[in-house]
Amino acid sequence: MECMMDLKVQAFNKRMDVFKLRFLERPAPTTDISSFRTELDHFRANLDAILVPSIDTPEFAPTTPADDTVLDALYSEDIPQSESTCVQGKRHHSSHTSNATEDAKAKKREH
């Protein structure tokens, strides 16, 4: 049993030595800090240029959109609103009739 444990410890130590040779003793990659610094300075300059409001752009007074003007002209109170297509063919079954319905019936009788 003790011999088996020694073999396992030796195998583990061999693997650790290989790991140390591959990863721990390998030189660290060199990072060029100066290129990062110059790129960061360019980003800061671009950010400052974006954030600074330009002085030569005039402010415009708020205007009403042309769409509202057109819609107001189309749907003004002067033009009577027609019934929707699903309501046009339906008849009112109530005993209370409106003046418009009575007028329509009277016109129909005249023809």
The answer to whether 100 touches 91, Cβ cutoff 8 Å, is no
With tokens 């100066």, the residue in question is 34
Q: Specify the pLDDT at position 33.
A: 84
The answer to whether 107 touches 98, Cβ cutoff 8 Å, is no
Q: Specify the pLDDT at position 75.
A: 73
Q: Specify the pLDDT at position 109.
A: 85
Q: Give the tens place of pLDDT for each residue, 67-84.
A: 677 777 777 666 555 666
Q: Give the tens place of pLDDT for each residue, 10-69.
A: 999 999 888 887 777 677 677 778 888 999 999 998 888 888 776 665 666 556 555 677
Q: Give the tens place of pLDDT for each residue, 76-106.
A: 666 555 666 666 666 666 655 566 778 888 8
User: Which amino acid, one-letter code, is at 42?
Assistant: H
Closest CA to 74 of 62, 86, 66, 84: 66
